């Protein structure tokens, strides 16, 4: 045990106790809230359907060619195990359906089956993690027109409807085998670059496709279905079929979850304000946390004010049972493993900060109309030593604390990644 960390933690315990916060109980609660760490940061959203991997479009793009990309499922598992070893607390791993154990020999994406995820289930049991599974409707010839489930071509719609049905069946199978609900989030790249007079027609097509997909019911203890909106996609700047208004309406009407990707909104919008607006109407909200920079949605999550605000909204509403926290970004221009750990640790830190907040004191100021006291207290709380609580949390989980883990990743890059 690092004595300096222990002394620092004892001081932090006393400081937070002044506000009625028991840091040990906070850590216990933090330990119980899982985060879903996305695997596609490690393979640049390429998957393993074919021996030659790489994105072929469909409104999604990973940039950069830094050494060490996972080119096989074995390399992906190896990298994920490194990530798991450096992120404290309960974890799930989120997959794209193209990341099944296909061994590069999947003749058609529609041939997907539960057999392709048996090894993932075995790996997850060994790693003590859950799995989420999302259908991939991109990088495929039947997505080249710019439309999938909303296409005017009935054959294209039918193909993707059946595909998503198969992915949902696999997700339910995974949830049943692991005894942990598998979240299956549907995002489609449908839309157009320029003026589109037939927007209504495409959205009616999408609604009918969704009706067909979700007509098949599964036990919620095995699968949680969610739909994910986007403001626009690459090459779809004028019209995105699956807008926030469309999917939110559909989710509320049909009892589905709603996925909020923090990079999928206008730069002046914040997801933190949306949580309390839609929470009263939904049983499940799924968060895909990324960092938008201008119009790019998928930069590595950092400990920003908005990330902290999102976690505060969850904790203040006592909604950790209804809001499912996950990451979603991909950057191939830097060490991919290090990027994923950086983002996941930032999410856990933001959650810790939210749990350490003396919310009841702040609300008392608010109820008395003392808005100065509310603002001043919230500002001064930023200086409390949450970092010492974080390092203690890492220590009791046998996870390297801040700064120490960075050299571990640099060694991993030198010994493993650059040799691929």
**β-strand pairing of 257-261 with 285-289:** parallel
pLDDT digits (tens, 9 = 90+) for 136-188: 999 899 999 999 999 999 999 999 999 999 999 999 999 999 999 999 999 99
Q: Is 194 a catalytic residue?
A: no
Whole-structure pTM value = 0.95
Question: Which whole number is the average pLDDT over 265-280?
Answer: 93
Give residue 3's pLDDT.
47
d(CA 311, CA 321) in angstroms, rounded, equals 13
Q: Is 261 a catalytic residue?
A: yes
Catalytic residue among 230, 324, 348, 349: 230
Radius of gyration of the chain, Cα coordinates, nearest whole angstrom: 22
Q: Is 230 a catalytic residue?
A: yes
Question: Which whole number is the average pLDDT over 38-62?
Answer: 80
Q: Is 296 a catalytic residue?
A: yes
- The two tokens of residue 183 are 């979240």
Contact present, 400 and 17 (Cβ < 8 Å) = no
Catalytic residue among 101, 298, 313, 413: 298
Using alpha carbons, select from 259, 268, 167, 162 the residue that is nearest to residue 218.
Answer: 167
pLDDT surpasses 80 at 287: yes
Catalytic residue among 44, 49, 225, 261: 261
pLDDT digits (tens, 9 = 90+) for 63-78: 889 999 999 999 999 9
d(CA 104, CA 71) in angstroms, rounded, equals 10
Catalytic residue among 142, 288, 324, 349: 288
Q: Is 288 a catalytic residue?
A: yes
pLDDT digits (tens, 9 = 90+) for 316-339: 999 999 999 999 999 999 999 999
Catalytic residue among 228, 331, 357, 413: 228
Catalytic residue among 101, 132, 328, 388: 328
CATH 3.20.20.150 describes domain 33-358 = yes
**β-strand pairing of 35-38 with 323-327:** parallel
**β-strand pairing of 223-228 with 257-261:** parallel
């Amino acid at each position: 045990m690092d004595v300096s960390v222990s002394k620092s933690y004892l001081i932090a315990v006393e400081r937070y106790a002044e506000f009625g916060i028991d840091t040990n109980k906070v850590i216990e609660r933090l330990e119980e809230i899982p985060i879903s760490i996305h695997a596609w940061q490690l393979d640049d959203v390429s998957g393993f359907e074919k021996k030659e991997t790489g994105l072929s479009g469909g409104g999604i793009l990973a940039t950069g060619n830094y050494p060490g990309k996972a080119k096989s499922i074995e390399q992906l598992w190896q990298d994920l195990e490194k990530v798991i070893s450096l992120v404290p607390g309960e974890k799930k791993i989120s997959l794209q359906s193209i990341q099944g154990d296909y061994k590069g020999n999947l003749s058609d994406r529609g041939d997907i089956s539960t057999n392709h995820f048996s090894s993932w289930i075995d790996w997850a049991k060994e790693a003590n993690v859950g799995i989420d599974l999302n259908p991939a409707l991109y990088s495929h010839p039947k997505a080249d027109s710019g439309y999938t489930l909303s296409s005017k071509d009935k054959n294209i719609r039918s193909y993707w409807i059946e595909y998503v049905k198969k992915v949902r069946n696999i997700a339910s199978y995974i949830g049943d085998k692991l005894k942990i609900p598998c979240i299956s989030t549907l995002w489609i790249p449908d839309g157009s670059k320029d003026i589109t007079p037939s927007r209504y027609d495409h959205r009616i097509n999408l609604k009918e496709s969704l009706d067909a997909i979700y007509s098949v019911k599964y036990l919620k203890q095995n699968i949680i279905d969610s739909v994910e909106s986007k403001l626009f996609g690459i090459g779809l700047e004028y019209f995105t079929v699956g807008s926030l208004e469309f999917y939110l309406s559909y989710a509320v009407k049909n009892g589905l979850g709603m996925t909020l990707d923090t990079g999928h909104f206008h730069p002046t919008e914040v997801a933190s304000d949306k949580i309390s607006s839609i929470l009263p109407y939904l049983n499940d909200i799924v968060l895909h946390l990324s960092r938008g920079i201008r119009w790019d949605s998928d930069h590595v999550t950092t400990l920003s004010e908005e990330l902290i605000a999102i976690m505060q909204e969850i904790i203040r509403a006592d909604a950790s049972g209804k809001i499912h926290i996950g990451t979603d970004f991909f950057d191939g221009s830097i060490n991919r493993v290090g990027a994923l750990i950086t983002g996941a640790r930032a999410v856990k830190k933001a959650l810790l900060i939210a749990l350490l907040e003396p919310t009841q004191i702040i609300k008392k100021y608010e109820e008395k109309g003392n808005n100065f006291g509310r603002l001043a207290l919230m500002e001064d709380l930023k200086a409390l030593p949450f970092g010492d609580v974080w390092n203690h949390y890492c220590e009791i989980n046998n996870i390297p604390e801040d700064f120490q883990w960075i050299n571990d990743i640099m060694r991993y890059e030198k010994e493993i990644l650059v040799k691929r």
